[in-house]
Structure 1
Amino acid sequence: MTTFIGKPVTLVGPQLRVGDKAPDFVLMANDLTLKSLNDFGKKCKIISVVPSIDTGICDAQTRRFNEELAGTDNLVVITVSADLPFAQARWCGAAGLDGVITLSDYYDHAFGKAYGLLMREWNLLARAVFVLNENNEIVYVEYLDNVNEHPDYDAALAVAKNL
């Protein structure tokens, strides 16, 4: 069972597993352009999913993955939330993190449904981390049972750094 602020939530969509091909997506970037998984090419990817960029754990999660993997040529960190692109852009500016890639699933929640992360009761995304290889195959996944906890940064980073 998954909880958010101490209450059970219903996650819409299937939970993905190691070995699955990551579903493609179309999400909105801060500049209001649409981005798909294929736009990131053959790079390995960390998809860091957060409920809202403006909260303490989500802020820490976004910073940690981006700071630890800065300058890694073959890897891209993608932060996904249901926040409006304007809020994501404001957060990036206030945080002084210009190179952070934030994508928004606010419009139709198709990403949340495809990745099994849409919290029906809140229309927000549950917290999760996916590490994809260059072929967009999932090599690491963590769905958090308690959305209000930090992910296992060390485990995800160890996998990502070894790709």
Structure 2
Amino acid sequence: MANITLGGTPVKTSGELPEIGSQLQDFELVAIDLSTKTLADFKGSKLVLNIFPSVNTGVCAASVRQFNTEANELENTKVLCISRDIPFAQDQFCAAEGLENVVMLSDFKTGTFGKTNGLLMASGAFEGLLSRSVIVVDADGKILYTEQVPETGEEPNYKAALEALLVE
């Protein structure tokens, strides 16, 4: 279990982030059109997985906006924004913000994505939601970079995540 904080209060997660160099596990997440998306749907693209508790919080919304801006500059890369929000809320947020460069996905049905990747908050006020994290994978699904943001109320290190895409 990773130890993070939420407003300075200790929170445990369901496990540890996957190891750099390992393969990202397949997933089933729900898109805003209610279709099911798996890792195979993004085959051949590099991926930045921007994972967060809820798009309806300031820091989570800021991370989606920032990655949406950065996604314009990324070659052969898709930014997947993943939370346990229902797809309707994700869609409304993107429509209101005019965000078109990110793919919103939800783990609301089963939480399996969060459990498999050690991201589910297992205690604290946000128990059951995903912890703020970033996972970057190459076009073959190999994990190049991970970040478990230590304080949930802080933004991820965008620069380090994006630089990981240039290293391969």
Q: TM-score, normalised by structure 1?
A: 0.94
CA contact (8 A) 2:54 2:60 kept: yes
Per the alignment, residue 21 of structure 1 pairs with 23
Per the alignment, residue 77 of structure 2 pairs with 75
CA contact (8 A) 1:13 1:112 kept: no
Per the alignment, residue 129 of structure 1 pairs with 134
1:13 & 1:159 partners in 2: Cα distance?
23
Structure 1 portions without partners, runs of 5+:
none
Amino acid at match of 1:44: K
Aligned residues: 163
Matched, 1:139 2:139: no
Q: Measure how far apart 1:39 and its partner are.
A: 0.4
CA contact (8 A) 1:14 1:114 kept: no
Secondary structure at the counterpart of residue 29 of structure 2: strand
Q: Measure how far apart 1:162 and its partner are.
A: 4.6
Per the alignment, residue 51 of structure 2 pairs with 49
Which runs of at least 4 in structure 1 moved beyond 4 Å after TM superposition? none
After TM superposition, list the pairs within 5 Å mapping 1:1-163 onto structure 2. 1-70=3-72, 72-121=74-123, 122-163=127-168
Give aligned-pair identity as a percent: 39
C-alpha RMSD of matched pairs (Å) = 1.4
2:48 & 2:86 partners in 1: Cα distance?
21
Q: Measure how far apart 1:21 and its partner are.
A: 0.6
1:152 & 1:73 partners in 2: Cα distance?
20
CA contact (8 A) 1:14 1:113 kept: no
